[in-house]
Amino acid sequence: MTAEKKLYIKTYGCQMNVYDSERMAEVMGGQGYGVTDDPAEADMILLNTCHIREKAAEKVYSELGRLKPLKAAKPGLKIGVAGCVAQAEGEEILARAPMVDLVVGPQSYHRLPAMERAVTGGAKAVDTDFPVEDKFEDMSRPRMRKGPTAFLTVQEGCDKFCSFCVVPYTRGAEISRPADRIIQEAAQLVAAGVREITLLGQNVNAYHGHAGGLAGLIRALAGIDGLDRIRFTTSHPNDMDDALIEAHGACDKLMPYLHLPVQSGSDRILKAMNRKHTAESYLRLIDRLRDARPDLALSGDFIVGFPGETEADFEDTLRLVEDVRYASAYSFKYSPRPGTPAAERDQLPEDVKTERLARLQTLLARQQAAAQDAMIGRTVGVLFEKRGRMERQVVGKSDHLMAVHAEGPDSLIGRIVPVEIVATAPHSLAGRCVGDA
């Protein structure tokens, strides 16, 4: 019997890349590849890359340099670069790193088996097309799942063209998967033991593969027996329609957590970013969401130091943060992405960006601590996902996506358990199991 070949995938970036890596592993599983966590024993290595942050491509080349000794020691080893850096760099990757055998963009993963066969035959393979065929339809093997949570991509691409963002160029135009295929995939995941599904998209609330939009899809998924929790990310404020707001109050399985990026609190900067919303419209949207679901935990994204940002613009951002009261948030210094309009503008000094980011993160950390402190004494549902670092400790997430650890047996993993929150720590909560479910 031929020994199983081994595939090692290193994933950079967002949850959608995590999902894509899982699907690539499944596709290559049909070609006789099992997954390994050790690149030294791999027959194929894929770097699934992200192009959102500064110097993303250089990080990939640095990683390729670290893999070079493995390639030299194992001439049959195939090395591929996948994802958004692959889409952006294309043939340039092969020119700069001849050790690379294949380059595949995020819309062409279903073609990996053919590319692998070409490489086996001695060729180099590059595919950064935006194919007409549906990659998800071609990647129809049953999902391989371990654990009670899963990501499920329902929408890809973006038509917003924010002036700082490469997604429309690397992921393409907005496309939505048909609802029936999503529901089928979700049912397969639940049959495999998944109890919580997070719906993914670059602009997930622009989903239109169901007659009722994302809200209609959520209601359809809520009808799956055994699926207890539904989440979605990432959203754009302009696509948060009435039905989706209502779903937050009416659908028990839709968890009380929402990631809704705003990027800046300055209308002048929002216009320069081509966001097409204002700080005021965002705040009114938050009011409507909280009217629908008063205990909603909010998360956001912020870019500090965007070209042209003044101290007054930054103060507007701080005021917006104070008004919203985030449970968590992600904040970054602006970094130019080649090919985007904002990259051509005059850049702020790095020390100004650094100082402003520190002030914003101090405020956000204070709000996160307050949100966690408010949980002490409350009993929340926790879906335990894995063992903790301590003996008889299990770790999971609350309804509000807060990390919770408690003492308990491994048999709690995969179950939603009532937990009384007794203490907080940075980025996590300590709890005491008070029941079983």
Nearest by Cα to 319 from 361, 352, 358, 363:
363
The residue type at 201: G
Q: Return the HEC string of 17-55.
A: HHHHHHHHHHHHHCCCEEECCCHHHCCEEEEEECCCCCC
Q: What angle do CA 343, 348, 351 make, to 5 degrees?
A: 130
Nearest by Cα to 184 from 148, 137, 216, 228:
137
Backbone angles phi, psi at 149, to 5 degrees: -125, 155
**CA distances (Å), 213 to each of 135, 198, 224, 287, in order?**
21, 16, 18, 22
Q: How far apart are CA 194 and CA 226, in angstroms?
A: 8
Is position 50 annotated in a ligand binding site? yes
Q: How far apart are CA 396 and CA 417, in angstroms?
A: 10
Give the HSE-up count for residue 225: Cα atoms under 13 Å, Cβ half-sphere. Answer: 0
**Long-range residue pairs from 348-354, CB within 8 A, at least 24 positions apart, any chain:** 348/305, 348/306, 348/307, 348/309, 352/305, 353/304, 353/305
Q: Is the dihedral of CA 243, 249, 253, 257 positive or negative?
A: positive
Q: How far apart are CA 129 and CA 87, in angstroms?
A: 8
Taking each helix axis as running N to C, give the angle between helix 350-373 and helix 311-324, from 0 to 180 degrees, rounded to the nearest 10.
10
Is position 251 annotated in a ligand binding site? no
Q: What residues contact residue 194 under an 8 Å CB cut-off, 6+ apart? A: 145, 147, 148, 149, 150, 227
Is position 433 annotated in a ligand binding site? no
Do the Cβ atoms of 61 and 149 come closer than 8 Å? Answer: no
Burial of 302 from C-beta contacts in 10 A (0-12 / 13-18 / 19+) = buried
Structure tokens at 319: 């005021």
Please state the residue numbers annotated as binding site: 14, 50, 84, 158, 162, 165
Please state the residue numbers annotated as binding site for [4Fe-4S] cluster: 14, 50, 84, 158, 162, 165
